[in-house]
Structure 1
Amino acid sequence: MPTLSDAYSTLSREVAAAGARLVVVTKTHPVEVIRELYELGHRDFGENRVSELEEKHPQLPKDINWHFIGHLQRNKVKNVLPLVSLIHSGDSLRLLREIDKRASDRRVDVLLQYHIAEEESKYGLTVESGRQLLESIREQPLKHVRIVGVMGMATYTDDKEQVAQEFRTLHEIYSSVKEEFFLDEPTFSEISMGMSGDYEVALQQGSTLVRIGSRLLGERNYD
Structure 2
Amino acid sequence: MRKVFQEELKSVHDDLVEIARLVATALDKAIESFQSADVDLAQEVIAEDARIDFRQSALDERAIDILALQGPVASDLRTLVGSLRMSASLERMGDLARHVAQLARLRFPESAVPESLTKTFARMAELDRSIIADVAELLETHDLSLVAKIQGANAEIDDLHAGVFRAIADSSWTGSPALAVDAALASRYFERFADHGVSVSRKVSYLVTGEWDGDMTSN
TM over 0.5: no
Higher-helix-fraction structure: 2
- When the two structures are superposed, what TM-score results if normalisation uses the length of structure 2? 0.28
Q: Which has the higher strand share?
A: 1
Higher relative contact order (CA closer than 8 Å, sequence separation 6+): 2
